[in-house]
Structure 1
Amino acid sequence: MNRTNLSSSIESAAQNNTLQQSSHYIYAILFPLIFILGIVGNLFSSVIFCITKLNHISCGIYFLLLAIYDSLALIAGLHHCLAIGYNVPALSGAYCRVRNFLLYMSMDMTSWMVVAISVDRYLKARHPIKARIYATRKLSIFISCCLNVIFILKNFHLLTILIGNFTEDAADNCDPNPHYRMYSFFFNNIWPWIDFTTYALLPFILVTISNTFIIHDQYNRRFKLRKRTLDLSLIRLLLVSSISLVVCNLPISILAIIYPYISISYKTNKIYDNVAFAFDMLRLPAYISLGLNFYLYYYTSVLFRKQAIVLFQRLFHVEENTNHIQRAHRMFTDGSQRVETFSLFNNFGDFQSLSIPSLKDSCFISNFYPN
């Protein structure tokens, strides 16, 4: 009997060690790739939504902030890469507080920027005339500021001395300080529900409802006008944001709630069980969703792709001959192409008065690009 128990314990320890080593190599190799691709992609997204024609649409502010907060969340996520992939411990309690606040704040804002974009599109599709009056860039800035204030207040406790666990067997040095038992109970049992509701559940519901109404409205509009095809570019862009939010972030949010109750390694670094391994693995899709937005925009949106191409041509000084310029001009002057372009513009409402995409209008880079 004792031999059986001993053999079982040895096998369990070997399995746990294998899982921990796998997690170590995955984070050491995969996370740096996600980080580099994400930072580069978000940087390009920020520039495109800051200095191109896309900056003039009301939801351009939301896309710009989404790219910025995606980058901040990836930077805060380096803690997991260093701790799991390279066994680098947290430097101090102050480091943990800043890191925790930055991560939770950024993740909250990324979710609600997707919500704001979806609601903005819904208003443009459902009430295009009223949207031109009320859905303005000033309102977008005001809403963004309000969301920032709300989530600063929500996550402010993460900046206090209540965070930081530097005991010998701490599972994570950035966990709550064990000397404050009431806060530890709150952080482990109540906070996950609050974070799940604000970060995943409410955004998922609002994004799904908004996108459902948008797709339904677009379908009816096309059907009444007897057009055979939908604007697949717009619909894909709508679905990408909601699918990315749900598929990549909802699983880790749900597991975070039940993790304290089903894992024996929750509060200690001496045991690494299957649940801890699953928790570490489910973090990666959430980080991937922070780094792939630029590439998804480029693949799904005709407008974004055209602006990105113009930006790349300017940044890398691509030589364009007369034929290329004329071909690019014909894309916006040809009748069939104008119908497609204006069809996309009508879906965004405030694009209708824009001319051919160009970066030379931007006062930010007027001295950078010669005439």
Structure 2
Amino acid sequence: MGEYSDASAVGFNKTAVMTVIRQLTAGQRQTLLEESGVSSLEELESLLRQHTMRVENYEQPYMQYAEFRMSKFLLLYVPPILIIIGTFGNMFAFLVLRRRSMIKVSTYFYLACLAVADLFVLYVGLLRMWIGELTGMDLQNQAMWLCKLTVILGYIASDTAVWIIMAVTVERFIVVCYPFKANQMCNVLRAKKVILGLVLLMFAINLHFLWTVESVEEMIDGRNVVYCRAVEPYSALVNEAWPWVDACIYSFLPFVFIIMLNIMIINQVVKAHNSRERMQGVSERQKLDGRRQSTEGTKLTIMLLTVSFSFLITTLPMNVSLIVTTFWNQMLHDPHKVAKFTLVKSITELLMYVNHSMNFFLYCATGKKFRQQIMRLLCQRESRTTWLSMTDNSPKAKQGIQNNKDDGILCFSKSEVTCV
């Protein structure tokens, strides 16, 4: 979902504030005291001390509930794990998917772009959230440009990542259900145009955040609060209408279309499998070649279906949470219900970020070609060293070495090189 947060309290150093105040001229201090409604610096310092205590004790009413404490625990310890796993996975996936033997296939180009988008989501959204939980300071609220930049980048990255999954699912639908049009419609050049179009579209949709949100400091319940919020006359758009627009773009529409397309893809794969089993009057060699080609396509289809279904599973709880809380606002008046709501929201939000962290492991689990490319990438250096150590006249070298043109290196056959 989007990375916009309506408000976040920010602490300050009371001693530093008083030091700055004492450096003012007598006239400036008097003006400050009059505007603050106090008669002396001692009274102002007392108010600042009380304010600091209120900020520090803001969460105390909820800490008595186990649900709230569990939420704080999850938000403190789960994000760094997801960030480390997601950073490694997405960067390694990008390196593998950019290899020459992979990047020629438009599907792998989409997945390489998805890895980049997922990294942006993790660093703009999850990392910022974790730093805020760790320090009590939301980076989004530290400057006007940070407010606007984090909001718009967060929305663009998350929306683009989801719609790349949509594009991959549509492409797989074309390949499976309309194979004769696949060569024309599914190629790297078209994939590049689709990615560019998606980025520009998401930028245009979320461009309004450049002028509809800003960083504002206000006095709320006796506390100075700095937060990134909607400005008038756009507060209704940003706070009430846009969460639903974003939910449709990020989840509702992709959810429906991905389910429909996946059902049709699975149905067509089953039909094609049954049709091959009933083939008559075809030579065994032709059957074997057909099965081999079908198996390769089926494995890629299974990998992509796994990616799309994992998206559905990890984002569905967030959708349900949004709908339930929208129609059950009375829960916010009961501290225990607030604690329960906070726990549910934290779990569903972290589950959403799991979706942006785990694709590499899904590729490894379901993609045979992806695993082969990882092995070649890891064994590339060892293979080169071993090959250079052998003489040109060695019978073993003549029989065991084959030229891998896709990767541009010389590798031993499986009988000669073992990588684990």
- What TM-score bracket applies, with the shorter chain setting the length? 0.7 to 0.9
Which structure's residues are more often strand, by fraction?
A: 2
Runs (5+) with no aligned partner, structure 2: 1-59, 279-290, 391-395, 410-420
Contact 1:263 1:273 in 2 (8 A): no
- Aligned to 2:229, what secondary structure does the other structure show? coil
Q: Which residue of 1 aligns with 2:175?
A: 124
AA aligned to 1:107 is: S
Displacement of 1:106: 0.9
AA aligned to 1:87 is: G
Judged with a 3 Å threshold, the aligned counterparts in structure 2 of structure 1 residues 85 and 255 are, in CA distance, closer, same or farther, namely: farther
| 1:17-96 map, 5 Å | 18-77=66-125, 78-90=127-139, 91-96=142-147
Equivalent-residue separation in structure 1 for 2:238 and 2:92 (angstroms): 36
Judged with a 3 Å threshold, the aligned counterparts in structure 2 of structure 1 residues 152 and 276 are, in CA distance, closer, same or farther, namely: same
- Aligned to 1:220, what secondary structure does the other structure show? helix
Q: Does 1:310 align with 2:398?
A: no
Q: Does 1:201 align with 2:252?
A: yes
AA aligned to 2:84 is: I
Kindly provide the CA deviation profile for residues 196-241 of structure 1, in whole angstroms up to 9, marking residues without a partner as x: 1111111112222222222211111111111899956345313312
Runs (5+) with no aligned partner, structure 1: 1-11, 330-354, 362-371
Kindly provide the CA deviation profile for residues 131-185 of structure 1, in whole angstroms up to 9, marking residues without a partner as x: 1123221111111111111100111122335243544559x965523x52x4222
Q: Which residue of 2 aligns with 1:292?
A: 358
Equivalent-residue separation in structure 1 for 2:219 and 2:332 (angstroms): 14
Q: Which residue of 2 aligns with 1:341?
A: none
Contact 2:90 2:359 in 1 (8 A): yes
Equivalent-residue separation in structure 2 for 1:295 and 1:154 (angstroms): 32
Judged with a 3 Å threshold, the aligned counterparts in structure 2 of structure 1 residues 163 and 324 are, in CA distance, closer, same or farther, namely: farther
Q: Which residue of 2 aligns with 1:245?
A: 311
Equivalent-residue separation in structure 1 for 2:176 and 2:68 (angstroms): 49
AA aligned to 1:239 is: L
Contact 2:177 2:265 in 1 (8 A): yes
Contact 1:49 1:60 in 2 (8 A): yes
Identity of aligned residues (%): 20
- Aligned to 1:67, what secondary structure does the other structure show? helix
Equivalent-residue separation in structure 2 for 1:326 and 1:206 (angstroms): 51
Q: Which residue of 2 aligns with 1:274?
A: 340
AA aligned to 1:49 is: L
Displacement of 1:278: 1.5
Displacement of 1:263: 4.9
Equivalent-residue separation in structure 2 for 1:118 and 1:94 (angstroms): 36
Equivalent-residue separation in structure 1 for 2:128 and 2:359 (angstroms): 22
Equivalent-residue separation in structure 2 for 1:288 and 1:325 (angstroms): 48
AA aligned to 1:203 is: P
Contact 1:265 1:276 in 2 (8 A): no
Judged with a 3 Å threshold, the aligned counterparts in structure 2 of structure 1 residues 293 and 125 are, in CA distance, closer, same or farther, namely: same
Equivalent-residue separation in structure 1 for 2:94 and 2:382 (angstroms): 17
Judged with a 3 Å threshold, the aligned counterparts in structure 2 of structure 1 residues 233 and 32 are, in CA distance, closer, same or farther, namely: same
AA aligned to 2:128 is: H
- Aligned to 1:273, what secondary structure does the other structure show? helix
| 1:141-160 map, 5 Å | 141-160=192-211
Equivalent-residue separation in structure 2 for 1:265 and 1:167 (angstroms): 26
Judged with a 3 Å threshold, the aligned counterparts in structure 2 of structure 1 residues 70 and 324 are, in CA distance, closer, same or farther, namely: farther
Judged with a 3 Å threshold, the aligned counterparts in structure 2 of structure 1 residues 102 and 324 are, in CA distance, closer, same or farther, namely: farther
Equivalent-residue separation in structure 2 for 1:200 and 1:141 (angstroms): 23
Displacement of 1:14: 4.9
Kindly provide the CA deviation profile for residues 292-345 of structure 1, in whole angstroms up to 9, marking residues without a partner as x: 00111011011111111111223687966899997897xxxxxxxxxxxxxxxx
- Aligned to 1:164, what secondary structure does the other structure show? strand
Equivalent-residue separation in structure 2 for 1:285 and 1:325 (angstroms): 52
AA aligned to 2:321 is: L
Q: Return the TM-score normalized by structure 1.
A: 0.75
Contact 1:164 1:176 in 2 (8 A): yes
Q: Which residue of 2 aligns with 1:352?
A: none
Kindly provide the CA deviation profile for residues 91-113 of structure 1, in whole angstroms up to 9, marking residues without a partner as x: 22321221121111111111111
Displacement of 1:259: 3.6
Equivalent-residue separation in structure 2 for 1:357 and 1:79 (angstroms): 44
Kindly provide the CA deviation profile for residues 3-59 of structure 1, in whole angstroms up to 9, marking residues without a partner as x: xxxxxxxxx935565444332222221110100110111011111121231100122
Kindly provide the CA deviation profile for residues 72-122 of structure 1, in whole angstroms up to 9, marking residues without a partner as x: 000012121112344223322321221121111111111111111111111
Judged with a 3 Å threshold, the aligned counterparts in structure 2 of structure 1 residues 69 and 358 are, in CA distance, closer, same or farther, namely: same
AA aligned to 2:191 is: S
Which of 1 and 2 has greater Rg?
A: 2
Q: Which residue of 2 aligns with 1:340?
A: none
Among candidates 236, 239, 260, match of residue 302 of structure 2:
236
AA aligned to 1:83 is: G
Q: Which residue of 1 aligns with 2:166?
A: 115
Equivalent-residue separation in structure 2 for 1:287 and 1:316 (angstroms): 36
Equivalent-residue separation in structure 1 for 2:268 and 2:359 (angstroms): 25
Equivalent-residue separation in structure 1 for 2:382 and 2:89 (angstroms): 16
- Aligned to 2:243, what secondary structure does the other structure show? helix
